[in-house]
Amino acid sequence: MTAPSRIAFVTSLPVALLAASLAGQASVDTAATLRTADTAAHTWLALVDKGELAKSWDEGALVLQLGVTETKWEQLVRSARAPFEPFGARHQIMARYTTDPPNAPPGQYVLLQYQTDVSGGRHVVETVVPTLDGKRGWRVSGYFIRLEQ
């Protein structure tokens, strides 16, 4: 069986400071937030599915852009997805709002997981982590893939 492929969740000090200032905001309409973040994730995943990896980096959250170069991002995504291409239908299996995810600065995040059909009748679990990225709105800050066991 193939080992899980992962693209690291990336952070930096300037972004940690920015995110910390956003964390103290008023209460959140969780249902609306989950819907908005899911829409942002699907828009972003469509870029990745079409192979528009440079654009996926451009459209990613600032925390992602500061943590990995565009060139490295493209290499990581290609490497993680290659054993599973092509990607097919996605079905959401988890959505959770948090302000304190592991290995990330405080802020507003939604952890989304999708069971995704891939080559050979297999399934992977894709984890997409949108974050509220200031005036840019919800942008993807992390992406992980693992073969479903």
**Do 91 and 38 contact (CB within 8 A), yes or no?**
no
Please write the tens of the pLDDT for every residue from 95-109.
Answer: 999 998 888 888 999
**Residue with token string 């008023």:** 26
pLDDT digits (tens, 9 = 90+) for 65-74: 999 999 999 9
Residue 61 sits at the vertex; the CA angle it makes with 79 and 33, to the nearest 5 degrees, is 115
Q: What is the pLDDT of residue 72?
A: 98
Is residue 79 packed enough to be buried (19+ CB in 10 Å), middle (13-18) or exposed (0-12)? Answer: exposed
- Structural domain tally of the chain? 1
pLDDT tier, 45 (very low <50, low <70, confident <90, very high otherwise): very high
Q: What average pLDDT is seen over the chain?
A: 86
Sheet (strand 90-98) strand order: 5-7, 138-147, 123-132, 109-117, 90-98
Query: Residue 47 is part of a domain; what is its CATH number?
Result: 3.10.450
d(CA 34, CA 94): 10
Q: Which range (18-22, 40-44, 102-106, 120-124) has the least confidence?
A: 18-22
How many CB atoms are closer than 10 A to CB 123?
17
Domain membership of residue 67 as a residue range: 5-147
